Amino acid sequence: MTTEAARIAEASAVRPSSRQLAWQALEFYGFIHFGINTMTNREWGLGHEDPSLFDPNTLDADQWVDSLASAGMRALLLTCKHHDGFCLWPSAVTSHSVAASPWRDGKGDLVAEVARACAKRDIRFGVYLSPWDRTEASYGTGKAYDDFLCAQLTELLTNYGPIFSVWFDGANGEGANGRKQFYDWDRYFALVRTLQPEAVINICGPDVRWCGNEAGHTRKDEWSVVPASLRDAERTASISQKIDDGQFSRLAKSDEDDLGSRTAILASNDPLVWYPSEVNTSIRPGWFYHSTEDDQVRSAEELFAIYCSSVGGNAAFLLNLPPDPSGLIAAPDRAVLAALGRKIANLYARDIAPAAAQSGLTLQWNKPQTVDGIILGEDIRHGQQIEGLTVEAQSSDGVWHTIARCTSVGYRRILMVDPVSLTALRVTITASRGPVHLTPIRVLGA
């Protein structure tokens, strides 16, 4: 029987892979949902839509990349094929693609255009490929469909340069009487590892875990070390969206709020793995563009709060930006993204931590400072160790006051506090699983 000490030692010893480290450092990146659904004003296409509907006459991939870069994003994921089966590249294994459309006179390749635009701005490029395909006749037949999907995956992973992420979701809306495909996930994963070994495989994949909602909600304590059963792709699919009901994207459940605490891992007999969380949501109510939502674009303030709770809560933030039918990110979205970028840049520009005066976990100033936040982080190359931490401020009369507490830290923890005047700040690790390696502390001047 495993003792508590042995289980905690196991958790302490888990480390991220090189690909997971590179992914975590991206912190904030964009999703582009664009395709035949953009033209039909739907969220989930039915399949077999007429390719002649796809003709975004002013499409500008550079504008997409500039828009997300203005918000401080460092990578872009493109929906190369959504559930309807329409491919944004001229796939050799289907006629249901941009090659059958009037766009670029049938000679276009949107995946190539976006990959080139990303490369010009030093933005990493990733691909979303829906395993569910409502057009392909072999869907539901087993190996024949797996062969088809692997052929498309091979095209995407060999023709467009380095790929930072392959994003699989678990949506399958066929229903009880519809076609059912039992995906050969192991085969898909092995193909990704062969063709793009540094790419993380997200959501229905072994590298990056879905936070469990599309609303932008982050757990109070997010752990990167969790039971291995959470990596089961079919488990993720079972809690994913089943029908296009217009409500799932703003639903946040609380039945899985604790996945990796000491209590949670002691209650599980599974091996422990490094499986960090991604928070994904859309700037609009829908994932694809709808003109009726032009006045429902989330504010920069709301998105900044999600950034602070996700990137500042040991997760990554994936924000969807849907271009309109002409092929451009709409003006309301662009304005919000630029404002969000300014807020994020200002957050880190307010750092007043006196690096030269730092002694251990105590920082001192020669005169009183007004502070309203602290940013902490663990060097996750050494795992996630902190289970308890307090932050204290020393006032000018020499008295210490606790101003913040947290349980987990991980890659980054942003702790906002009521403005406080202090002459020194002290961080105390009150509980840990093993030796702690903190990154430099940032103190935010109010």
User: Which DSSP string corresponds to 395-440?
Assistant: -TTS-EEEEEEES--TT-EEEEEEEEEEEEEEEEEEEESS---BPP
Nearest CA to 406 out of 441, 379, 437, 375 is that of 375
Average pLDDT estimate for 429-437 = 97
Cβ contacts of residue 251 below 8 Å, gap of 6+? 213, 214, 215
Is pLDDT of 314 > 60? yes
How does pLDDT run across 41-92, given as a tens digit for each residue? 999 999 999 999 999 999 999 999 999 999 999 999 999 999 999 999 999 9
pLDDT score of 217? 84
How does pLDDT run across 385-422, given as a tens digit for each residue? 999 999 999 999 999 999 999 999 999 999 999 999 99
Average pLDDT estimate for 26-36 = 98
Band of pLDDT at residue 252, cut at 50, 70 and 90: very low
Is pLDDT of 1 > 80? no
Backbone dihedral angles phi then psi of residue 194, each to the nearest 5 degrees: -75, -45
Cα–Cα separations (whole angstroms), residue 310 to 24, 156, 199, 255, 313 = 12, 29, 21, 19, 5
pLDDT score of 358? 53
Band of pLDDT at residue 225, cut at 50, 70 and 90: very high
Q: How many alpha carbons fall within 13 Å on the CB side of residue 350?
A: 18
pLDDT score of 242? 47
Task: Look at 236 and 358; give whichever has higher pLDDT.
Answer: 236
First-residue to last-residue Cα distance in the chain = 51
Average pLDDT estimate for 297-303 = 98
pLDDT score of 254? 45
Tokens of 167: 């994003």
CA distance 23 to 26: 5
Domains in the chain with CATH codes: 4-349 (3.20.20.80), 355-445 (2.60.120.260)
Is pLDDT of 250 > 80? no
